[in-house]
Amino acid sequence: MTQLLNGNRLAIEIRKEISKEIDKNIRNQKKRIPHLGIILLGNNSSSITYVNSKIKECKNIGIQSTLVHLTVEISELELLKEIQKMNENSLIDGFIIQLPIPKHINTDNIILAINPKKDVDGFHPENFGKMSLNMKTFFPATALGILVLLERYKIKISGKNTVVIGRSRIVGRPISILMSRKNYLGNSTVTLTHSYTKNIENYTKNADIIIISVGIPGFLTGKMIKKGAIIIDVGINKVKNKKKFILKGDVDFNSVYGKASYLTPVPGGVGPMTRIMLIKNILIASALNNKKK
């Protein structure tokens, strides 16, 4: 029997914990409420949906958010100026730039311009390097959300064979690093696969845990996994179904359900955990900001 890993329900529990933490350590002590900045470029419907969900999460928990919505035609130089404004704004504890960034702008230059102490996405090389060395830093929210999801469901990672499908800086690379750390939420033997991996099913059939984020609906099928495998589906794809679009993951749900021991649904699995972990990161940034004063 497959148990669904309910990210929605777990995010609600963590939201309550965070709200209590804010009341105890911030409101009751008359400290400034944490403040998240968001930079959004253009009017991509998916990006707008993601940003709105993050703003809603901030509102639900009771922290501040500021959205800077810029035209997609903005130059790299002008975007760098907007980033510097966020860096210098003492009222903004941390900020994110909603990806993807338009092709005429160099993503690496943009990420490098973010003050690492305000990089609550955890993508700056300084933070990514610290994560690789198992040092305290901001962990990318999706990767952290996956770890917390596994932890709260008491799923053991140590000693397991984990296959990660997809090598993006947002999911694949960070989760492969975190899962292999010498840590109680690590110690897994990780294989990182990607679009150039030949005969990928040779890896997935031997995996205890599979984490997939490739942006291809239904890529991972029941024939590609062993019985009892733990499947974490990070994919979220809009697929046309008759007259409307529906959301589907990178896992072929119907063929995997019943064979896997645990499975994240789409939607309602990893997505809510990503948003709540971003809030966790902004609380860390706020605490660091308060220490400087």
pTM of the predicted model as reported, rounded to 2 decimal places: 0.94
Is residue 107 situated within a structural domain?
A: yes
pLDDT for residue 212: 98
Q: Do 83 and 163 sit in the same domain of this protein?
A: no
Do 252 and 215 belong to one domain? yes
Same domain, 104 and 148: no
Closest CA to 139 of 171, 95, 97: 171
As a 3-state breakdown, the chain gives helix, strand, coil percent values, each rounded to 5, of: 40, 20, 40
Contacts of 129 (CB under 8 A, 6+ apart): none
Measure the CA–CA gap between 106 and 281, rounded to whole angstroms.
25
Same structural domain, 57 and 165: no
Structural domain of 152: 141-272
pLDDT of residue 243: 78
Q: Please report, for the domain that includes residue 60, its CATH number.
A: 3.40.50.10860
Residues of the chain with pLDDT under 50: none
pLDDT digits (tens, 9 = 90+) for 164-194: 999 999 999 999 999 999 988 899 999 999 9
- Indicate if 29 belongs to the active site: no
C-alpha distances out from residue 25 to 21, 22, 81, 289, Å = 6, 5, 34, 14
Residue 27 annotated as binding?
A: no
Of the residues 54, 117, 248, 280, which is catalytic? 54
Residue 242 annotated to the active site = no
Q: Are strands 237-241 and 244-248 parallel, antiparallel or unpaired?
A: antiparallel
Other C-beta atoms lying within 10 Å of the C-beta of residue 289: 20
Q: Residue 245: its pLDDT value, please? A: 85
Q: What's the pLDDT at 293?
A: 56
> Could you give the 3-state DSSP secondary structure of residue 27?
helix
110/149 same-domain check: no
| 167: CATH | 3.40.50.720
pLDDT for residue 292? 64
The active-site residue out of 93, 119, 121, 250 is 121
Q: Return the pLDDT at 165.
A: 98
Q: Does 5 fall in a domain?
A: no
**Residue 166 marked ligand-binding:** yes
Q: Is the domain of 147 the same as that of 252? A: yes
The count of structural domains within the chain is 2
Residue 259, domain member (yes or no) = yes
How far is 155 from 114, CA to CA, in rounded Å?
35
Q: Is residue 24 part of a domain?
A: no
**By C-alpha distance, which of 249, 171, 254, 255 is closest to 217?**
249
Active site residue 108: no
The amino acid at residue 4 is L
Q: Is 250 left (phi over 0), alpha (psi -120 to 50) or beta?
A: alpha
| pLDDT for res 8 | 97
